[in-house]
Amino acid sequence: MHIYKSIFHFEIGSEQAQKIERFQNPVDMPYRETYGAAAIISDECFNSDELASSDCSKIPKSSKSKEFFPHPNGDSLVLLVIKGPGLMDLVHELYRRAADEA
């Protein structure tokens, strides 16, 4: 909804944006935020045991650190996994297109 509010604010007017803003007030209209992560994995690299063992309560402080901390939104974090044959070709194409846009 935030993107629509921004579009209305800049393109249509703040009066329309305020109509959307009232739905974003957690006191008047409680809502639940859910955070997500996505993984696109080719069949060659897919490992269901490794995915099942993923734990957002043990995030390393840095790549070389042995100190861990929990993800700040771990209770509302979901993982979307997309797997299939040759998906690395898709990933490379997405990165190429993103680089061309920059």
Is 87 found in the same domain as 44?
yes
Q: Is the model's pLDDT at 99 over the cut of 90?
A: yes
Q: Is the model's pLDDT at 44 over the cut of 80?
A: yes
- Span 68-90, average pLDDT: 89
Cα gap 71→77, rounded to integer Å? 9
Using the 8-state DSSP alphabet, how is residue 75 labeled? Answer: G
Is 51 found in the same domain as 5?
no
Is 91 found in the same domain as 68?
yes
Q: What is the pLDDT of residues 56-67, one digit of tens each?
A: 888 888 888 889
Is 24 found in the same domain as 45?
no
Is 72 found in the same domain as 55?
yes
The torsion angles phi and psi of 81, rounded to 5 degrees, stand at -115, 125
**Domain extent for 86:** 33-102
Is 75 found in the same domain as 87?
yes
Domains of the chain: total: 2
- On average, the pLDDT of the chain sits at 82
Of residues 52 and 12, which shows the higher confidence score? 52
Residue 82 near residue 40 (C-beta atoms within 8 A): yes
pTM of the model: 0.54
